[in-house]
Amino acid sequence: MAVLKVIEVLSSSKKSWEDATSNAVKQASKSVKNIRSVYVQDQSAVVENGKVIEYRMNLKLTFEVK
């Protein structure tokens, strides 16, 4: 039986929400091993002069504890 743990991660990107998600997984995987899934909890964006300048994500990462 596998034991799984969930942690909350915040990430951002100047390009897109998808890029913010990829950045979070890439950065977290440097210290967290066995990541199995990502759950997008919240999305937001920073708007300046009528244009989106930053995409922000609040994610939950699930990984196996060995």
Write down the pTM of the prediction. Answer: 0.85
What CATH number is associated with residue 52? 3.30.1660.10
Q: Tell me: pLDDT of 1 over 90.
A: no
Q: For 19-63, write each residue's pLDDT tens digit.
A: 999 999 999 999 999 999 999 999 999 999 999 999 999 999 999
Q: How many domains does the chain have?
A: 1
Instruction: For residue 54, give the nearest of 43, 65, 45 by alpha carbon.
Output: 45
The per-residue b/e assignment along 5-42, b for 16 or more CB within 10 angstroms, e otherwise, is eeeebebbbeeebeebbbbbbeebeeeeeeeeebeeee
| Domain of 61, in residue numbers | 3-65
d(CA 19, CA 25): 10
Q: How much is the pLDDT for 65?
A: 93
Q: Give CA–CA dist 52/4, Å, rounded.
A: 36
- Asked if pLDDT for residue 66 goes beyond 90, the answer is no
